[in-house]
Amino acid sequence: MNQNNNNMNKNEPFPTTEYPTTIKHQWNEEHDRWMYIEYNEQQKIIGLNYMQGDDYKFFKDNFTESDEGLTEFYNEMKQIFPVELASVTCLEFINKVMWSYSSALTSNAIYSKNK
């Protein structure tokens, strides 16, 4: 192992920085949302973003990069809610996470103004 490589962790044989090998633009009619999903070589989700509404051109121009906060939130929710994760499809779980994330951001914005 090359000790000088900044992307390498002594305990990991692979770089810690992951790059997407597959990117999907997924329309979800039920939730009126375009979803941006990045997958690595192992088909693990490594990046997420979304836009409410059906304007695909606007989505492509403004929402086709991973939202690091949403992606981290998704990873935390997988750890906190493993039963929920196992009981629904991957896209259903992603939508639940997106609604939760959006609600948390909105609540924080509303209540932080009241201080």
Per-residue pLDDT reduced to its tens digit, 24-78: 999 999 999 999 999 999 999 999 999 999 999 999 999 999 999 999 999 999 9
What is the residue range of 70's domain? Answer: 22-113
Token look-up 């409410």 returns 52
CA 65, 28, 79, 38 torsion: positive or negative?
Answer: negative
Please state the domain count of the chain. 1
pLDDT for the residue numbered 2: 36
pTM of the model: 0.81
CA distance 83 to 106: 26
pLDDT-derived band at 20 (thresholds 50, 70, 90) equals very high
Within-domain flag for 16: no
DSSP3 helix / strand / coil % (the chain, rounded to 5)? 45, 20, 35
The whole-chain average pLDDT of the chain stands at: 88
Q: Does a structural domain hold residue 4?
A: no
Whether residue 91 has pLDDT greater than 70 = yes
Q: Is 34 helix (H, G, I), strand (E, B) or coil?
A: strand
Q: Which residue has the higher pLDDT, 106 or 14?
A: 106
